[in-house]
Amino acid sequence: MVEMKEVYLDNGATTMVDPLVVKAMQPLFSEIYGNASSLHHQGEAAKHKLNEAREAIAKAINAKFDELIFTSGGTESDNLAILGVASAHDKSLKDHIITSKIEHPAVLNTCKYLESLGYSVTYLDVDTEGFIDLDQLENSITDRTLLVSIIHGNNEIGTIQDVEAIGKICKKHGVLFHMDAVQSFTKTSIDVKKIDVDLISMSSHKIHGPKGVGALFVRKGTKIASVFKGGGHEFKLRPGTENVPGIVGFAKAVSLASSSHIKQMSKLRDKLIRSVLDEIPNTKLNGPKGDRRLCNNVNISFASLEGEALGAYLDIEGICTSTGSACSSQTLEPSHVLLSIGVSHEIANGTLRMTLSRFTKEEDIDYTIDALKRYVEKLRKMSPINTIIKKL
């Protein structure tokens, strides 16, 4: 039997765990398995591994050891940042939050929850490439504003916001700034000494680490309370026995990321974008080009077809892609991100996201371009709306 080729272009949803990460985690299951809070030698050994990992990840963003809180992933980090800051402040004085229309559901739904508790939330508009308007941000801040929460690298269309400028505005007005860096961490540099940011969400499984581990950077002095009730773990901010194997794997994944991978992914990303736009008619890139786009993100709308059908055909060829974010593709609703940048419902439904990793090879991209050309043509021929191929 001929083995089917596997081309994984859904790294925005999750990534393959790097074999070196698996190797680094292995001893933490049955050799060093103590509870990091225990005082005996097993506990001490686990604590040592936990401390090493915390030091390494904090260093990757130029933060201090005790500014990094381990969580169960990006969703929990986003929840802890927003709910933790809200509950630590007096709601009768500070009850306004600013976010954008293109956030991940982990932020959007947390903000909606706060609205149900009586907070007011401003959802900033974005332009056709997904950038927020800095003037609109500044004009939205009032003396009741507590927090600004903005996604750093967008998970669907790859837009990288100008977080230096956002941070400056927040600092000028004495407002806290949280950025969701789940997609951007290790894919663009983040230095907390250069960005006026108070809270940063990160997740391990997007960067070739294990699932179920994440971190929240909390700048020293930030007023924040824990959301879960329990013991005093993680500087009293996140109770629960630490997932030491996962955390060690997360730190190993961070250590394996490098700027040469960013260059390599950007090159293949641009080849894929260029080839599709040049060789397949009536296609349109969503999100910006160049350095202001995540190095691994391609998001293209194909007129007169259904993205779900295209994805299913590509899957037959062994190519994994997605029609939106993994979280929203179950609902079959057009993506809120695409609608926010002005894409019509119909065109949003003909959209495919392809997200690369450092394991993506040039031959994978060539193989995908070839399959795309064939299946886009086939689907357009089959489509009842093909008689009026929409020009993009």
Ligand X SMILES: Cc1ncc(COP(=O)(O)O)c(C=O)c1O
Catalytic residues: 327
Among 149, 203, 323, 349, binds ligand X (CB under 6 A): 203
Instruction: Report d(CA 212, CA 344) in Å as an integer.
Output: 35
Q: Is residue 296 a contact point for ligand X (CB under 6 A)? A: no
| Size of the residue set binding ligand X (CB under 6 A) | 15
Cα gap 266→289, rounded to integer Å: 10
Residue 328 within binding range of ligand X, rule CB under 6 A? no
Q: Give the CA angle between residues 232, 199, 21 to the nearest 5°.
A: 75
368 binds ligand X (CB under 6 A): no
- 364-386 burial code (b ≥16 CB/10 A, e <16): bbebbbebbeebbeebbeebeee
**The binder of ligand X chosen from 182, 192, 200, 224 (CB under 6 A):** 182
Q: Which stretch binds ligand X (CB under 6 A): 30-38, 176-184, 264-272, 384-392?
A: 176-184
184/226 with CB nearer ligand X: 184
Q: Which of 7, 57, 137, 151 binds ligand X (CB under 6 A)?
A: 151
Does 86 interact with ligand X (rule: CB under 6 A)? no
Position 15 contacts ligand X (CB under 6 A):
no
Is residue 131 within 8 A of residue 161, CB to CB? The reply is yes
Verify binding: residue 243, ligand X, rule CB under 6 A: no
Looking at the DSSP bridge assignments, the partners of residue 124 are 100
Residue whose CB is less far from ligand X, 94 or 104: 104
Tell me whether residue 180 or residue 242 sits nearer to ligand X (CB atom). 180
| Cβ-based nearer residue to ligand X, 243 or 304 | 243
Residue 343 makes contact with ligand X by CB under 6 A: no
**Applying CB under 6 A, does 293 fall inside the site for ligand X?**
no
Which residue, 35 or 109, has its beta carbon nearer to ligand X?
A: 109
Minimal distance, residue 76 CB to ligand X, in Å: 7
Interface pick for ligand X out of 79, 99, 149, 183 (rule CB under 6 A): 183
Across the beta sheet with 199-203, the strand order is: 68-71, 214-218, 199-203, 176-180, 145-151, 96-100, 120-124
Binding flag, residue 73, ligand X (CB under 6 A): yes
Q: Which stretch binds ligand X (CB under 6 A): 74-82, 161-169, 219-227, 373-381?
A: 74-82
Residue 74 binds ligand X, judged by CB under 6 A: yes
The answer to whether 95 contacts ligand X (rule: CB under 6 A) is no
Q: Is 311 in the site for ligand X (CB under 6 A)?
A: no
Amino acid (one-letter) located at 167? G
Q: How far is the CB of 80 from ligand X (least distance, A)?
A: 12
Q: CA 51 to CA 39: how far, in whole Å?
A: 15
Q: Which of 10, 180, 242, 364 binds ligand X (CB under 6 A)?
A: 180
**Nearest residue (beta carbon) to ligand X:** 74
Among 68-76, 117-125, 254-262, 290-298, which window interacts with ligand X (CB under 6 A)?
68-76
74 versus 334: smaller Cβ distance to ligand X: 74
**Nearer CB in complex with ligand X: 325/340:** 325
Interface with ligand X includes 75 (CB under 6 A)? yes
Select 73 or 167, whichever has its Cβ closest to ligand X: 73
Figure out which of the listed residues 79, 110, 145, 155 binds ligand X, where binding follows CB under 6 A: 155
45 belongs to the binding site for ligand X (CB under 6 A): no
Chain positions contacting ligand X, by CB under 6 A:
73-75, 78, 104, 106, 151, 155, 180, 182-183, 203, 205, 214, 325
